[in-house]
Amino acid sequence: MMMNYGFGGSIMMLVAAAVIVVPFYKLWGRTGHNPWISLLMLLPLINLILLYVLAFKEWPHTDNKG
C-alpha cells in the first residue's frame, strides 16, 4: 500500500531527516569514523544500536587550548 503525502509532506519528511542526520554526521566525524554512518540513523532499531555505540565508545582526546 503506497501512501500519498503530497509535495508538502515530502518536504517535511526531508526536513525531518536532515534534522536527524546532520548532528550525527558531525558526531561520527568527530569520533574518527566515516560520517556517512549517520544515514543509518534513519533506520529503526539500527539507530538505537548506533546511538549506544556512539554514547559508550572511547572518544578521541582533543586539546582545544586556543
In the structure, what pLDDT confidence band is assigned to residue 8 with cuts at 50, 70 and 90? confident
Between residues 15 and 58, which one has the greater pLDDT? 15
Q: Give the Cα separation of 4 and 2 in Å (integer).
A: 7
Q: Are 42 and 17 a contacting pair, CB within 8 Å?
A: yes
The pLDDT value recorded for residue 66 is: 47
Residues 6+ apart with CB under 8 A from 26: 35
The pLDDT value recorded for residue 33 is: 87
pTM score of the predicted model: 0.70
With cell 582526546, the residue in question is 61
Question: pLDDT (tens digit, 9 = 90+) per residue, 11-49?
Answer: 888 898 899 899 999 988 888 889 999 999 999 999 999
